[in-house]
Structure formats: C-alpha cells, structure tokens
C-alpha cells in the first residue's frame, strides 16, 4: 500500500496536510482529465494528490491508467501523485468487485459500500428497503468489507446509508471505526456534503484511537479539489 496517509494526531495542532486523496476524473464519473487535476493541485499548492477511480474487472480504462502512473508522476513533480482505486462490496462476505491481481496494480484500494449485495449475485433496491433493516445490513456488510485483506482504506463510512436513509447509528459507526483500526485499515475522512453528518463521529473516534487516516474531497470536478483541507480547517477551528 502506497498513499498519502498519516496518523490523525499529526494534524490536531492545526497543521493540516495539503492533501486530497479522493478524486475522480473523466475516466470514470468525474469531469476533467488527469492533467487538469494535476494543474489545479499545483495551483492550490497541494502536497499530495491521489486519484481513486471507480474500478472493477470490466473497467476498460484500467490497464492504461496503471501503465501511465510513472509518466504522470513525472509531470506532477514536485507534487506527490498516487493512483488508487475505489471498489465496492459485491458480496455479503465483503468480497470486492475486482480481482486481487488487478487490485494489487493500484497504489491503494478504497473499499466502499455503494449498493447492498443480496447474497444471490444481485443488489437490493433502496426503494424497497426498511430503514432499520438497511441500518443493520449496512453495519454487517461494512464489517465484512473492513475485514477483507485486499482493502486498504475504509472509504466514506456510513456514506450510502446516509445518502438514502439519513442519520447513521452513532454506536455502530464508532464500532466500525474501531474495527477498521483493529484491522490496520486507513479510515477516510471524506468532506463531501452528503456524508457531512457522520464526519464528527468518525473524526472523534479516530482521535480517540489515533487512527491512520486519509483525507479526501470526493472531488468529481477540479473546482472541488482540496475542499477537504478547507473543511478540516473550519472544523478544527470550531473545536478549539
């Protein structure tokens, strides 16, 4: 695993690293080319930038994306550049939707829930789910995803549930962060607005455990790049 990750205690004095470690380009569901994000990152004086394109075994862009890593890293210098992938849980046992061989080609793997596997090769429809049932299912799926040895980063914790059902159970979310720390996973602090209510809970538990963290804007356009740094500055100012 290679990534711009750090212990959360390193930024509690207000020294927030100039990093954005969750970015999507036009290769998947973002807008703008890799070069556009590199240029913007330099303009913002970021220290590190990590692409986290959505990937699975059918991603036609993937081999070229990996093959050009060193080329883009040379262009980006002195900006540190990383080529990660965001992958989703595809089965109830936490298996992800990409082979181990392909996953190992990336600098790091962000494991997320996007939809809820039904155990029969498909996914549940959110419209048909009861909120309480979804909460329990999300919790169980997240635990299995965290235990998957291929996953390096526990991505946008509580994200999909929050997007469709609202407030995540605080105790369950704290438990998931604890489990991630126990399994030596990086915990993502994602500043996207749709995950905002969970941010303080994740942050507080990470502080208590001094978790290894990843900070990301979930940027899909260059104008969102680096937003996580701004959000963290405002958040830490409120705490002080």
Predicted pLDDT at 13: 81
Interval 4-29 mean pLDDT: 95
Would 1 be classed as within a structural domain? Answer: no
Total tally of structural domains belonging to the chain:
1
Q: How far is 188 from 144, CA to CA, in rounded Å?
A: 17
Q: Is the per-residue pLDDT at 124 higher than 90?
A: yes
Q: How far is 165 from 163, CA to CA, in rounded Å?
A: 6
Nearest-5° Cα angle at 139, 134 to 140: 100
> Which of 159-162's residues contact partners 24+ apart within 8 Å by CB, and which partners?
159/112, 159/113, 159/190, 159/192, 159/194, 159/195, 159/198, 160/112, 160/113, 160/114, 160/115, 160/116, 161/113, 161/134, 161/135, 162/194, 162/195, 162/197, 162/198
- Summarised one tens digit per residue, pLDDT across range 41-74 is 999 999 999 999 999 999 999 999 999 999 999 9
Helix H or strand E encompassing 234: helix 227-239
Predicted pLDDT at 133: 96
CATH at 46: 3.20.20.140
Would 233 be classed as within a structural domain? Answer: yes
Residue 93's domain spans which residues?
Answer: 6-239
């Amino acid at each position: 695993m290679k990534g711009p990750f750090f212990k959360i205690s390193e930024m509690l004095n207000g020294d927030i690293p100039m990093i954005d470690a969750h970015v999507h380009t036009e290769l998947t569901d973002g807008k703008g080319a890799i070069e556009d994000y590199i240029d913007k990152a330099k303009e913002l004086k970021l220290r590190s930038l990590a692409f986290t394109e959505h990937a699975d075994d059918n991603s036609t862009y993937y081999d070229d994306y990996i093959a050009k890593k060193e080329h883009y890293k040379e262009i980006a210098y002195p900006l540190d550049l990383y080529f990660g992938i965001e992958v989703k849980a595809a089965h109830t046992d936490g298996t992800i939707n990409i082979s181990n061989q392909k996953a190992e080609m990336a600098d790091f793997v962000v494991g997320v829930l996007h939809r809820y596997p039904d155990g029969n090769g498909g996914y549940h429809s959110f419209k048909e789910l009861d909120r309480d049932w979804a909460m329990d299912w999300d919790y169980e799926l997240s635990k299995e995803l965290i235990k998957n040895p291929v996953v390096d980063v526990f991505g946008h914790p509580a994200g999909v549930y929050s997007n469709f059902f609202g407030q995540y159970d605080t105790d369950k979310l704290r438990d998931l962060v604890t489990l991630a720390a126990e399994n030596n996973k990086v915990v993502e602090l994602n500043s996207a607005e749709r995950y905002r209510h969970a941010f303080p809970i994740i942050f507080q538990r990470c502080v208590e455990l001094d978790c290894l963290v990843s900070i990301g804007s979930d940027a899909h356009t260059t104008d969102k790049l680096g937003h996580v740094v701004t959000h963290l500055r405002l958040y830490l100012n409120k705490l002080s």
